[in-house]
Amino acid sequence: MNFSDSELIETLLSEQGLGRAAGESEADLILINTCSVRAHAEQRVMGRLRALKKLKDRRPEILLGVCGCMAQRMGEDLLRELPWVDLVVGPDSYRRLPGLVSRAGRDNPVQAAELVLDRAETYHGILPRRRDEVSAWVPITRGCDNFCSYCIVPYVRGRERSLEPEAVERQVALAVEGGAREVVLLGQNVNSYRSGPTGFAGLLRRLESVPGLARVRFLTSHPRDLSDEIVEAMAGCGKVCEHLHLPVQSGSDRVLEAMNRGYTRDYYLDRVRLLRSRVPGLSLTTDILVGFPGETAEDFGRTVSLMKQVCFDYAYTFRYSPRPGTAAAGLEDSVPEQEKKRRLQQVIDLQLAHTRAALDSMVGAEVEAMVVKPARSGQGKYLARTRGHFSVILPAESSQVGRVVRTVVTAHTGMSLVAGAGCDT
């Protein structure tokens, strides 16, 4: 979401004639887009902002701004704590950025904060400049109403709102016109997308008819809102990829309830069964959060057993950190850091084994892969992605970027598949 918001910010500023600088030392304006979801992400931003003080001392005319969730959370405290920061701008105030920048340029930097959370702001009508040509992000909802007890997002991104389906379709069509072949629909909980009569399933069905679009993906799904109708839309829409990121967080009903997730372990497993029967070959990824307040060894064991039962293709794993203002911040952070680390390592190791098994099972298979960009290793190798979102390294040419090819997997590296040259589908 933040990558996508950065594209939005760049678009708004470019409409005012600003262009991208070659690097930090040449920039007149430096904006840092921030995440508040974990304390660690914020600490890194603080470190970066402290380091930028030196640059600011040397060139006081530079404007330094902080955007995103951390700007929203800390607001004017950030300006007080780091007086060399000029602007703090929350996620619903980006339309004000061009004005702020030109005013600051006129009046010499004066500190300013724009922090209103706007229930109606969907950035309707702004067509972001895209950096990645093959795959385009299209935000369809903003904000979140779920209030999972550990999560700060509802407080810093405000209430959930959806972009009208016509506007989504227009954004998708324009992305395709600009060279994209795949779109990734974005939102904190895309499954609860609703605009008038159109829900998320309806939106997926609508995008089937966009000419030139090869693939549709979406992030993030909430198990509670993953209705049968959405599963059917996934099964029935040829463009929708067989990949679902479905954060489970924990395998213990007691912890799930304390997290206010709105589902049980059995319900989650039931969704997985339905998905796997209706969407053959589905690749399933998740988020796991360990060390939530009160998580006992037995609760943690339930998470491990759920992971073994489902065998996720990949999992993003996190160690709980209390976030100010959330419901869980009022609970005793009872699991010692050492124990959180141990539990985290255990789920990381287990997931590595499961990912490896998933990759092993694909060796020898023919896959459909979309060529994305030159691989980091260079030498005529390109990065491609399967419909299940596995990375594939294969020989290709620049003219093939954006094309979907058929290829046979010959090996894997533990993280990516390796394949021979593909032929066009």
Least Å distance, CB 223 to ligand SF4, is: 10
Distance CA 372, CA 354 (A): 25
Query: Could you tell me the smallest distance in angstroms from the CB atom of residue 397 to ligand 5AD?
Result: 37
Q: Which segment (98-106, 189-197, 319-327, 335-343) binds ligand 5AD by CB under 6 A?
A: 319-327
| C-beta separation of 312 from 275 below 8 A | no
In angstroms, rounded to a whole number, what is the distance separating the alpha carbons of residues 353 and 96? 48
The interface region with ligand 5AD, picked from 117-125, 306-314, 317-325, 397-405 by CB under 6 A, is 317-325
Neighbours of 33 (CB within 10 A): 22
In whole angstroms, the minimum distance from the beta carbon of 315 to ligand 5AD comes to 10
* Chain centre to alpha carbon of residue 154: 15
Q: How far is the CB of 156 from ligand 5AD (least distance, A)?
A: 11
287 binds ligand 5AD, rule: CB under 6 A: yes
* Cβ at position 226, least distance to ligand SF4 in Å: 12
With CB cut-offs between 5 and 8 Å by kind, which of ligand 5AD, ligand SF4, none does residue 321 bind? ligand 5AD
13 lies in the binding site for ligand SF4 (CB under 6 A): no
Residue 41 touches which of ligand SF4, ligand 5AD, none (Cβ within 5-8 Å per kind): none
Q: Which one of 36, 189, 252, 386 is in contact with ligand SF4 (CB under 6 A)?
A: 189
Shortest Cβ distance from residue 24 to ligand 5AD (Å)? 28
Of 26-45, which residues contact ligand 5AD (CB under 6 A)? 37-38
Residue from 215, 265, 302, 323 touching ligand 5AD (CB under 6 A): that is 323
Enumerate residues 209-228 that contact ligand SF4 by CB under 6 A. Answer: 222
From ligand SF4, ligand 5AD, none, interface partner of 267 (C-beta below 5 to 8 A by class): none
In angstroms, what is the minimal distance from the CB of 92 to ligand SF4? 15
In the complex, what is the shortest distance from the CB of residue 352 to ligand SF4, in angstroms, rounded to a whole number?
A: 24
| Contact in structure between 220 and 249 (CB atoms under 8 Å) | no
- Min dist CB 126 to ligand SF4, Å, is 23
With a CB cutoff of 8 Å and minimum separation 6, the contacts of 45 are: 32, 34, 66, 70
Decide if residue 314 touches ligand 5AD (CB under 6 A).
no
Identify which of 206, 137, 208, 124 has the alpha carbon closest to the alpha carbon of residue 175.
137
Which residues, 134 to 163, sit near ligand SF4 by CB under 6 A? 144, 146-148, 151, 153-154
User: 191 vs 400, which CB is nearer to ligand SF4?
Assistant: 191
Residue 224 binds to ligand 5AD (criterion: CB under 6 A): no
HEC assignment per residue over 167-226: HHHHHHHHHHHCCCCEEEEECCCHHHCEECCEEHHHHHHHHCCCCCCCEEEEECCCHHHC
Tell which one of 223, 247, 293, 422 touches ligand 5AD (CB under 6 A): 247
Q: Pick from 425, 424, 416: which is nearest to 382 by CA?
A: 416
Contact between 217 and ligand 5AD by CB under 6 A: the answer reads: no
Binds ligand 5AD by CB under 6 A, chosen from 69, 140, 151, 226: 151
Answer with the entry of ligand SF4, ligand 5AD, none that 144 interacts with (C-beta below 5 to 8 A by kind). Answer: ligand SF4
149 binds ligand 5AD (CB under 6 A): no
- 320 makes contact, choosing from ligand SF4, ligand 5AD, none, with CB < 5 to 8 Å by partner type, with ligand 5AD
Q: Determine if residue 173 is left, alpha or beta; phi over 0 gives left, psi from -120 to 50 gives alpha, anything else beta.
A: alpha
Q: Is 289 in the site for ligand 5AD (CB under 6 A)?
A: yes
Q: Which residues bind ligand SF4 (CB under 6 A)?
A: 144, 146-148, 151, 153-154, 188-189, 222
Q: Which residues bind ligand 5AD (CB under 6 A)?
A: 37-38, 150-151, 247, 249, 287, 289, 318, 320-321, 323
